[in-house]
Amino acid sequence: MQTTGWITWVIIALWYEKAGLILSAKVAPMRTPALLAGLLAAAASPATAETIYVSNERANTISVIDAATLAPIATWPVGRRPRGILLSRDGTQLYVCASDENAVQVVDLKTGKVVADLPSGEDPETFALSPDGKLLFASNERDATVTAIDVEKRAVAFQVVVGVEPEGMAVSPDGRFAVSTSETDNAIHWIDIATRRAVGETATEMRPRHAEFTADGRQLWVSAELGNVVQVIDAGTRKVIDTIRFTVPGIPPEKVMPVQIRFTPDARRAVIALGRGTAIAIVDVATRKVEAVVPVGPRVWGVAISPDGKRAVAANGLADTISVVDLATARQVATVPVGRAPWGVVVAR
pLDDT of residue 284: 98
Whether residue 31 sits in one domain with residue 9: yes
Specify the amino acid at residue 238.
R
pLDDT of residue 11: 39
Whether residue 153 sits in one domain with residue 8: no
Whether residue 169 sits in one domain with residue 71: no
Helices (H), 32-190: 33-44
pLDDT of residue 21: 34
Strand partners, 89: none
Question: How many angstroms separate the CA atoms of 57 and 50, rounded?
Answer: 23
Extract the residue ranges of the chain whose pLDDT is less than 50.
1-47
pLDDT of residue 109: 97
**CB-count exposure of residue 45 (10 Å: 0-12, 13-18, 19+):** exposed
Instruction: Give the residue numbers spanning the domain of 12.
Output: 3-44
pLDDT of residue 43: 36
pLDDT of residue 116: 96
Strand partners, 280: 273, 294
Question: How many angstroms separate the CA atoms of 207 and 262, rounded?
Answer: 19
Produce one character per residue of 207-225: b if its CB has 16 or more CB atoms within 10 Å, e if not: bbbbbbbbeebebbbbbbb
Residue 82 lies in a domain: no
Global confidence as pTM: 0.85
Q: Which one, of 197, 175, 178, lies nearest residue 188 by Cα?
A: 178
Whether residue 198 sits in one domain with residue 172: yes
Count of structural domains within the chain: 3
Q: Which one, of 107, 160, 108, lies nearest residue 137 by Cα?
A: 160
Residue 138: give its domain's CATH number.
2.130.10.10
Whether residue 204 sits in one domain with residue 163: yes
- Interior angle at CA 304, CA 160 and CA 177, nearest 5: 25
pLDDT of residue 49: 85
Which residues, including other chains, have CB under 8 Å from residue 169's CB and lie 6 or more apart?
126, 127, 128, 137, 138, 139, 146, 178, 179, 180, 181, 211
